[in-house]
Amino acid sequence: MKDSHKKHRWFVVGISFAFMLFHQADKLLIGPLTTKIMESFQIDELQMGAVVSGALVVGTIFYPLWGYLYDGGGLRIRFRGIYLNFRNFTRPKLLALASLLWGCTTWLSAIAPTFKTFTIARSSTGIDDSSYPGIYSLLGDYFPPKMRGKIYGLLQFSQPIGYLLGMILALFLSDLLGWRSIFYITGSLGVVLAVIIFFTVKEVPRGQSEPELADMTEIAIHRFELKHALALLKKRSMWLLFIQGFVGVFPWQVITFWFFRYLETERYYDENAVMMTMVPAVLVLSSGYILGGVLGDYAFKRTKRGRLLVAMGGVLAGAILLNITMVIPVEQKLLFGISLAAMALFMPIAAPNVVSTVNDIALPEVRSTALSIQYFIENSGAALAPTLAGFIALRYSLESAILWICVTAWILGAIVLAGAAYFVPKDIDALREQMEVRAEEGQVTG
C-alpha cells in the first residue's frame, strides 16, 4: 500500500470523526435543552417526546434511499429543467450533501417561531441523520476486516463525545445566548464540514481492502444490484441482527433524551450536579466504543463468533448495572455517579461489533444498503421510544420509564445476539467464498 494512501485513509478517519462528532452534538443537543424548549413553547413531556420521534421517523424513511445511493444505485431528479443524476455522486460527495442538509435544517429549527413549525423543522433534521452507513462503507474499503472493529469503535467514540459537547454548549451558553443561538452554531459547523468533505475526501474502489483482493492492481466496478440486496435476507445472522437492532436502540433513545430531565426532576440535581454526574459517565461511555472494537477484533481472530459474543456480554452487563444504579438513594450522589459510569462502559460495546459483523457477511457493493436496513429497522422501533417513555413518565415516573424500557430491551437483545453468534460463521464463510471467486475472475466491487 502506498504511503500516500495510508496517510489519506487516516485523514478520512479524522474528517469522518469530525463529522460524526459535531453532527452528534447537534442531534443530541435537544436532550440537555429539553427543559428550556418546553418552557419556551409551554408544552408537556408527551409533546416534547413527539419532537424527537418526528426526527427519528424521517430518518427511518430516508435510510433505504441513502444506502441505495451510497452503493452506487441510480436516481435521476428533475427540478425546473435541471437534471441531477445521483448515480454520478461518489460516497464522499453524498456525505458532503448530508453535511449541508444538516446545517440548513438546523438553522430552520433555530428560527421556528411556534411549536408546530419547530416540530416540522426538527423532524427535517432526520434527513441527514440517516447518512452514516456511507461512512462505514467507505472506511470498510480503506481498512481490512481485522482492523474494522477498532476503526468503527473510534468513529463511534465521537458520538458520546458529541453528546458531551452538546451538553456543555447547552449548560454554559443557553442562558447567555438562548437555545436558538446554539442551533445556529451547530448548523454552521455542518455547512463548513460540507465544503471540506466535498473538496478533500477521496473515493476508493469498493472491496479493495478484502484479503482476497488486496494485491490486485486493477479493480473492476460493481454497483448495487437488487439480487445481492435480496440475498442479505437469506442470511439468518443478518435477520437476527435486524431484530437486535429493533430492540437495541430503545435504551439509547430513552437515556439520551430523558436522563437529563430525570436528574433534574426526580433526583433534584442542579446544573452543577448534572455536570458532575454526566461528564464522567459520558467519558467512560466513550471509551466503551473503543474497548468494544478492540475486544471484538481480538475475539474475531480466535473465533468467527467472537464479535457477537463480546456484544452479548456488554448488553447483559449494561442491564444488570442499570438495575443497580437506579435503586441507589437520591442522597448518595457519588455512589450513583460511580455506578452510572460503570453501566455506561458496557452500553456501547455491542455497537462497533454489530457494524463490523454486517461488513463481515455482506458484499461490498451492498454494505451501505445492509447497514441502512439495519438502521431502518432500529429506528422503526426507536422512533416511538421517547414518546413511550413520556407516556410512562406521566403515569408513573421517569425512573420507571427508563428502567422498564432499557432492561427489557437489553435482555431481549442479548438473547437475539446469542442466536446470531450461532449462525454467523456460515454467513462469513459464504462471503469469503464469493470474494475468492471474484479474485479468480479478476473482479472487485467499485
> Residue with C-alpha cell 461528564?
279
Residue 13, CA atoms < 13 Å, CB-side half-sphere: 20
- What is the pLDDT, as a whole number, of residue 402? 92
In tens, the pLDDT along 112-160 reads: 889 889 989 999 988 998 899 999 999 999 998 889 999 999 999 998 8
Share of the chain above pLDDT 70, in %: 92
What confidence category does residue 103 fall into, taking pLDDT thresholds of 50, 70 and 90?
very high
- Grid coordinates given for 284: 467512560
pLDDT of residue 3: 63
Q: pLDDT value at position 81?
A: 63
3-state secondary structure the chain: CCHHHHHHHHHHHHHHHHHHHHHHHHHHCCCCCHHHHHHHHCCCHHHHHHHHHHHHHHHHHHHHHHHHHHCCCCCEEEECCEEEEHHHCCHHHHHHHHHHHHHHHHHHHHHCCCHHHHHHHHHHCHHHHCCHHHHHHHHHHHCCHHHHHHHHHHHHHHHHHHHHHHHHHHHHHHHHHCHHHHHHHHHHHHHHHHHHHHHHCCCCCCCCCCCCCCCCCCCCCCCCCHHHHHHHHHCHHHHHHHHHHHHHCHHHHHHHHHHHHHHHHCCCCCHHHHHHHHHHHHHHHHHHHHHHHHHHHHHHHHCCCHHHHHHHHHHHHHHHHHHHHHCCCCCCHHHHHHHHHHHHHHCCCHHHHHHHHHHHHCCHHHHHHHHHHHHHHHHHHHCCHHHHHHHHHHHCCHHHHHHHHHHHHHHHHHHHHHHHHHHHHHHHHHHHHHHHHHHHHCCCCC
Amino acid at 383: A
Mean pLDDT of 413-442: 90
Report which of residues 39 and 79 the model is more confident about.
Answer: 39
- The pLDDT score that the predictor gives to residue 324 is 94
- With 80 as the cut, is the pLDDT of residue 74 above it? no
**pLDDT interval class at 361 (50, 70, 90):** very high
Q: In sequence order, what are the beta bridge partners of 76?
A: 85
Look at residue 53 and tell me whether its pLDDT is greater than 90: no
* Residue 75: predicted pLDDT: 67
Write down the pLDDT at residue 226: 80
Task: Please determine, for residue 444, whether its predicted confidence score (pLDDT) is greater than 60.
Answer: no
Mean pLDDT of 26-51: 82
pLDDT over 50 (residue 440): yes
- Average pLDDT for residues 11-31, to the nearest whole number? 90
Asked if pLDDT for residue 21 goes beyond 60, the answer is yes
Q: List beta partners, residue 85.
A: 76
Q: Band of the pLDDT at 45, cuts 50, 70, 90?
A: confident
pLDDT band at 82 (very low <50, low <70, confident <90, very high): low
Res. 313 pLDDT band, cuts 50 70 90? very high
- The partner residues of 82 in beta bridges, in order of sequence, read 79
Residue type, 107: W
Nearby residues of 16 by Cβ (< 8 Å), 6 or more positions away: 135, 138, 139, 155
At a CB cut-off of 8 Å and minimum separation 6, what does 151 contact?
Answer: 13, 139, 143, 293
- The phi-psi region of residue 81 (left if phi > 0; otherwise alpha if psi is between -120 and 50; otherwise beta) is left
Tell me the pLDDT band of 49, cut-offs 50, 70 and 90. confident
Per-residue confidence (pLDDT) for residue 362, from 0 to 100: 92
Q: Is 173 exposed, middle or buried (0-12, 13-18, 19+ CB in 10 A)?
A: middle
**Top-tier CATH class for 3-441:** mainly alpha
| Average pLDDT estimate for 432-437 | 88
Average pLDDT of the chain, as a whole number: 87
More confident residue, 244 or 174: 244
> Band of the pLDDT at 445, cuts 50, 70, 90?
very low
Residue 29 cell numbers, joined:
443537543
- What pTM value is reported for the model? 0.81
Distance CA 388, CA 400 (A): 12
- Pairwise CA distance, residues 433 & 300, whole Å: 18
Count CA atoms within 13 Å of residue 361 on its CB side.
30
* Residue 137 confidence (pLDDT): 92
Domain ranges across the chain: 3-441
In percent, how much of the chain has pLDDT > 90?
Answer: 47
